[in-house]
Amino acid sequence: MRPHFMRAGVSYPPRDIVLLATKEEKELELWARNEGDFKFIRSYPIRKASGGPGPKLREGDKQVPEGIYRVTDLNPNSQFHLSMRLDYPNSYDLMRARKEGRTNPGGDIYIHGKAESTGCLAIGDIAVEELFVLVNAIGTEQVSVVIAPHDPRRKPLDGFASHLPLWAVELYADISREFARFPKDDI
């Protein structure tokens, strides 16, 4: 990983990282910083992500969630080589579920190895090894993960689409603001 960080002018290990995931493009971007602005480090192909555009609503819908998440745990004994657990459902997801009367929004969402997924982001074994070691070095509290249906830096997110819940407008505005902090022209 050091050569990627050197090219970006960020020392390894960095202080903070952000992972930007796009479902349509099937891409996971790694951004990092020590001080100041985040710099693009590299991207990884998402080898498998089930579901389509739209947020995860319930257990068993095989949908990758959309939103702003944290990595909470690292699992070196994963059936998918290695895995990093996300905090889905976070407080936003739980609030939305409660307001809609949904009692089981699901859980156990990971970024992991291999190329199989039923709601997680599978990035392959080599990619997950690199990120797992990095996250272990800096600590899970220094990692943010933003998952979008597609890259809002290329095409605006349509929170008004008919298949989405009404609150998707707010969610997609939040996701778009997060992505805007990481300009595509820096890549």
* Residue 120 among the catalytic residues: yes
| Active-site position among 4, 120, 150, 163 | 120
Per-residue pLDDT, 127: 98
The average pLDDT across 46-57 equals 95
For 117-143, the pLDDT digits (tens) are 989 999 999 999 999 999 999 999 999
pLDDT at position 185 is 78
Average pLDDT over residues 147-151: 98
SS3 146: strand
> Are the beta carbons of 79 and 156 closer than 8 angstroms?
no
Q: 184: pLDDT confidence band, cut at 50, 70 and 90?
A: confident
Of these residues, 4, 112, 150, 163, which one is catalytic?
A: 112
> Please, what is the average pLDDT of the chain?
96
- Residue 12 pLDDT > 80, yes or no? yes
Contacts (Cβ under 8 Å, ≥6 apart) of 70: 86, 87, 90, 140, 141, 143, 144, 145
186 pLDDT above the threshold of 70: no
Query: Which DSSP state fits 118?
Result: S
Burial of 73: CB neighbours in 10 Å, binned 0-12, 13-18, 19+: exposed
Give the H or E element holding residue 100: helix 91-100
- Residue 57: name the closest of 116, 121, 24, 100 by CA: 100
C-alpha span between 130 and 34 (Å, rounded): 18
Using the predicted structure, report yes or no on whether residue 63 has a pLDDT greater than 90. yes
